[in-house]
Copies of this chain bind each other. A is one copy, B any other.
């Protein structure tokens, strides 16, 4: 079978190789990978911006979906022909993770999904919602699970509350769609009027162009009767935290899910106290959370937004495109 190896850092370090097709051991599935999606961590890893100590060669990409080809002894939940998605943190089954479970992930400490076939324990995949394409399915493991973990598991979102969503990347659009389906009011921020209009079609109740309204936190407060939003999904880190702290309601939540503004975050503690705010770092979520979310996606017939689909040998181009920030939703690879 073919597989793509990352042999170090840089786009040139991506090499397609021949490998022996693996066999599923007891309790395992052999999956024909059909689609993958890319995330900023993939870009950072390949650029050499994601810490040190990685073991190369490594099959890259954490997010993938495919079809079961055969099953090992004792497998009960899946059979050949079933469509499945890989969980990117295979050791985090449910509840609170261990340190090991939160630092073990596909495409980073374990081989990822950019290969023709992949074996996985049956407990380390989830079933693909029936109405999704493989590309849509492959868009879920990081972006959608992070949004669900933030709003539903961590923040306990209730109908009638307000959710502020920054930007129109993968996590952001899933948060927007989930919040809308759960009965929340949504405020979408973007620098592009065209993207804002596309967001309206996905359920955004209020649109703010943050180029024209740099003090958007004040506008959120006005839109919420003077109190602020219960939930603020913060993507920008240093570039957005000040307005996030302005926009949030007392005892509200700011979900820290991105660092477009760099990995350093400087905050004014007096503002954190004055809001009694919880700033929640997110690190994807458990397999049980993934399954709960999939049930909702299936019940709602929710359509993940795929901005563009690249071919599998275009990973470098796909990463470069993601680096421009032009996308609306997720970027997928056809495998």
For residue A258, which residue of chain B has the nearest CB? B269
- Do the beta carbons of B96 and A292 come within 8 Å of each other? no
Interface string of A265-302 (1 = CB under 8 A from B): 11111101111111111110000000111111101100
Flag if A99 contacts B269 (CB, 8 Å): no
Cβ of A105 to closest chain B Cβ, rounded Å: 11
Q: Is the CB of A79 closer than 8 A to any CB of chain B? A: no
A142 to chain B, nearest CB (A): 12
Interface hits, A54-107 → B, CB 8 Å: 94-99, 101-103
The CA of A161 and the CA of B266, in the complex, are separated in Å by 30
Contacts of A152 in B (CB 8 A): 159
Chain A 219-230, CB within 8 Å of chain B: the 1/0 string? 000000011100
Tell me whether A293 and B228 are in contact in the complex, defined as CB-CB below 8 angstroms, given that A183-B299, A265-B267, A268-B264 are known contacts: no
Q: A212 vs B152: C-alpha distance in the bound complex, in angstroms?
A: 40
A310: Cβ under 8 A from any B Cβ: no
How many copies are assembled? Answer: 4
Other-chain residue from B102, B265, B279, B291 in contact with A278 (beta carbon distance below 8 A):
B279
Inter-chain contacts of A270 with B (CB < 8 A): 51, 259, 263
Q: How far is the CA of A101 from the CA of B251 in the complex (A)?
A: 12
Q: Which chain B residues lie closer than 8 Å to A278 at the CB level?
A: 154, 278-281
Query: Is the pair A296, B183 in contact by a Cβ cutoff of 8 Å?
Result: yes
Contact B185 A299 (CB under 8 A): yes
Cβ of B292 and Cβ of A158 under 8 Å apart? yes
What is the interface of chain A, defined by CB distance below 8 A to chain B?
51, 94-99, 101-103, 152, 154, 158-161, 180-185, 226-228, 237, 249-251, 256, 259, 263-270, 272-283, 291-297, 299-300
Supply 28 A–B pairs (Cβ within 8 Å), ascending by A.
A97-B250, A97-B251, A98-B250, A99-B226, A102-B275, A102-B276, A103-B274, A154-B278, A159-B295, A180-B299, A182-B182, A185-B295, A185-B299, A237-B269, A259-B270, A263-B268, A263-B270, A264-B269, A265-B268, A266-B267, A267-B267, A274-B283, A276-B281, A276-B282, A276-B283, A278-B281, A279-B279, A279-B281
